[in-house]
Amino acid sequence: MPVISNGEEVIRQTLNLMRAAQVLELPVFVTEQYPKGLGATVAGVREVSNQLTSFEKTTFDGCIPEVQQALRSQGIRSLIVAGVETHVCVTQTVLSALRSDLNVHVINEATSSRTEANRQIGLQRMHDAGAVVGSVEMALFELLQESGTPAFKAILQIIK
């Protein structure tokens, strides 16, 4: 993450998404690109969710057969995607998910690359392919649908 543009913000926003997933009782899947060579997922991300399922991979596409099976077995039809690098692993994962007829929301401030230009071109590519590019708050309020609930109050504390 030290070489990723705006890496600390990506981590912060990813953690916000994961904490909100806990509140909403949504599963969290993490794919790790060759952790033996590139290092493991950022510690905070690994520790924030007790509903975390992690998959190691050597492909750039995160929709590996084990992930696809996990999504099918839980009846998941929509994904919220965050991660690095936007123009490589995130894009290939999103394109694969779209080909599998999943609804995909890519979170702008929870994705990045080593350069801002690569992040932007990746986001544009995913958008052009049919993914929804949005923000953490957009995704969370769409999931919530209404205010005044205990979940709304909990998530408001996360994003403030």
The percentage of residues in the chain with a pLDDT greater than 90, rounded to a whole number, is 80
How many domains in the chain?
A: 1
2 occurs within a structural domain: no
Which phi and psi (to 5°) does residue 56 adopt? Answer: -85, 145
Domain assignment of residue 45, given as a range: 7-159
Chain segment 94-138, per-residue pLDDT in tens: 999 999 999 999 999 999 999 999 999 999 999 999 999 999 999
Put simply, whether the predicted model's pTM sits higher than 0.85 gets the answer: yes
Whichever domain contains 91, its CATH number is 3.40.50.850
116 occurs within a structural domain: yes
Please provide the DSSP assignment of 20-53 as one string: HHHHHT--EEEEEE-HHHH-PSPHHHHHH-TTEE
26 occurs within a structural domain: yes
1 occurs within a structural domain: no
